[in-house]
Amino acid sequence: MSETINLFTPFKGKLNLKNRIVMAPMTRCRAIGNLANPLIATYYSQRSTAGLIITEGVAPSPNGLGYARIPGIFSPEQTESWKTVTQAVHAAGGQLFMQLMHTGRVGHSANLPAGAQLLAPSAINADSPMWTDTQGMQTTETPKAMTADEIKATIEEFAQAAANAIEAGFDGVELHGANGYLLEQFLNAGTNQRTDEYGGSIENRARFVIETARAVVERIGADKTGIRLSPYNSFNNMPAYDDTAALYDYLAIELNKLDLAYLHLIDYASRATEEGRALLQSIRTSFKPALILNAGYTKERGNLALANNEADLISFGTPFIANPDLPHRLANDIELAQPETNTFYTADAVGFTDYPAAV
């Protein structure tokens, strides 16, 4: 009789992990000058008892720096700055993937460097609040609809950013195709109103994501490439659309052909409807490599999902902020500390590296 799988069981696959607890990517806005720094190295090394750490979203292009103080991985200086982070995490026994996040239409020109521009599949404003350090709170601006050449150039930026991440010592990269950022903007029929080969049909709307994933796989290898998706997502004012289930069914099948390291699903919106729950089951069947589930999981829910073979790994976001030793606390049923939400996106150590481990 096989042993019951739980959060503390090692995982063997393309990734070999000491447990099945993943630290989910979370924007923290501490990258002054869009560079990684010693504070960021401390933050991730403190959390290296996770089976896998996935970093905050890191821009693969100047055009993807939509938020204030998010890091980049498109310049030699940025690449060099991340080496301290990877060395610290590896020295502490951890593994980490860099999440590549191009914000697309979710941004403001005040957060972009000179010469960069907001790009998206179509010129449709996200109409979302956006903090800028120079102008305070603003509203996102209308992006420029990408040309065919800009699409090709952006795919190459992702591939080169992935290579830069490996050079910086990362174990792999995760493509951010969730939460309303550029990759998902191509998938969504409400934000993608193109009439060329990247718009219209399910196959066309999925093309940019698949081509980007393929380009990254060709550059750094499938075993070092993951992707995050969020079916039925409404974050960042993403509209609902009728063929969501069919699109993600198709996407899971096509991504499976690339033999990625994992698929990371934000599943809360899918679980809200019968169609969404059926989609989760379909994705689990279609996508053969590792599946990570995320969205408000507790120790009990995570263990149940693993025992029921709904997933291979479970990711935790907010609990890792105030609990750097989260796996230890979960294993020993130690009460979790609660984070201070007003320091989620500030610029210093407060609410970042000053949460203590359990005594």
What would the pLDDT profile of 300-348 be if each residue is shown by its tens digit? Answer: 999 999 999 999 999 999 999 999 999 999 999 999 999 999 999 999 9
Contact assessment for residue 37 and residue 111, using Cβ atoms and an 8 Å cutoff? no
Phi, psi of 25 (to 5 degrees): -70, 135
Q: Which member of 181, 232, 248, 250 is catalytic?
A: 181
Q: So what's the pLDDT on residue 23?
A: 98
**Cα distances (Å, whole numbers) of residue 346 to 27, 294, 305, 342, 350:** 11, 24, 34, 8, 8
Question: Does the pLDDT at position 27 exceed 90?
Answer: yes
Tell which residue, 94, 98, 99, has the closest CA to residue 46.
Answer: 94
Q: Where are the alpha helices (DSSP H) in 226-318?
A: 244-257, 274-286, 299-307
**Mean pLDDT (whole number) for 286-297:** 97
**Mean pLDDT (whole number) for 23-45:** 97
**What rounded mean pLDDT belongs to the chain?**
97
Model confidence pLDDT, tens digit, residues 259-286: 999 999 999 999 999 999 999 999 999 9
**Mean pLDDT (whole number) for 167-182:** 98
> From the CB of residue 84, how many other CB atoms can be counted at a distance below 10 Å?
18
Q: So what's the pLDDT on residue 165?
A: 98
Q: So what's the pLDDT on residue 3?
A: 73
Q: So what's the pLDDT on residue 4?
A: 87
User: What share of the chain has pLDDT > 90, as a percent?
Assistant: 98
181 is catalytic: yes
Model confidence pLDDT, tens digit, residues 188-221: 999 999 999 999 999 999 999 999 999 999 999 9
Q: So what's the pLDDT on residue 192?
A: 98
Q: So what's the pLDDT on residue 2?
A: 55
**Mean pLDDT (whole number) for 95-113:** 97
